[in-house]
Amino acid sequence: MTRTHWQVAALALAVAGCSTSKSAEQGEPGENGEVLAEGIRQKQAGNETVTEFDLNGDKKADVWTFTITAKNEEGKDVDRVSRKELDINWDGKVDISRNYDEREQVAREALDLDFDGKVDQVNYFEKGVIVRKELDLSAAGRPSEFKYYEKGKLVRKERDTNGDGKVDYWEYWEGDQVDRIGEDLDGDGNVDKWTKNPNSET
């Protein structure tokens, strides 16, 4: 497998995260959004130990595993993985940063998709299962699209289509397809137009 194929495969593995009233239907779009212009590489905490790995044999680290000392169920000290950083295109810069919970399941994953050293997408997990993705599609340094998941399945998309920092487009998914689309046409935060998918079963 060529170097390019390895890069594509690695990135694919890494990226592989109704009420009846208007306001309740929308929920609170984007309320959990974070600024994505942050650098993807996190500062090492004082209680973390880092181990470096060279996966492609170029004598340069491309995976950094951070561990902390924690107590297991028997009360004994053990090394627990707290986060990992990965350089998937071997340019010496971190492209993926993952944080892990107490069970060493991924809790948060930040991705630099254009290799500029800044976060473009953040995925959130609960008990190792994807629950939300936040994406900066306009390079504005903040999320412009939000994807919400239940039991690992996409149930809703929210998007800021005009770059004003407010969600104005909603997609609700049922059975792996779009069920309905809501649009805010006047910028007041409420849906003004609903479009129903004629092929939806609900």
- pLDDT, one tens digit per residue, over 11-52 is 434 433 333 333 334 444 444 455 555 678 889 999 999 999
How far apart (Å, rounded) are the C-alpha atoms in residues 180 and 75?
A: 51
The helix or strand, by DSSP H or E, that contains position 12, with its residue range, turns out to be helix 3-15
The reply to whether 201 falls in a domain is: no
The helix or strand, by DSSP H or E, that contains position 169, with its residue range, turns out to be strand 169-174
Question: Considering its fold, how many domains does the chain have in total?
Answer: 1
The reply to whether 44 falls in a domain is: yes
Q: What is the dihedral of CA 23, 33, 128, 101, to 10 degrees?
A: -130
pLDDT in tens, 70-83: 988 898 999 999 99
CA count, 13 A, side-chain hemisphere, 191: 23
Note the residue count of the chain. Answer: 202
Bridge pairing between strands 77-86 and 153-159 = unpaired
Domain extent at residue 88: 3-17+19-196
The reply to whether 202 falls in a domain is: no
Per-residue pLDDT at 200? 78
Q: What is the DSSP letter of 87?
A: -
Considering only CA atoms, give the Rg of the chain: 20
CATH number of the structural domain spanning residue 43: 3.90.930.1
User: What are phi and psi for residue 136, nearest 5 degrees?
Assistant: -100, 95
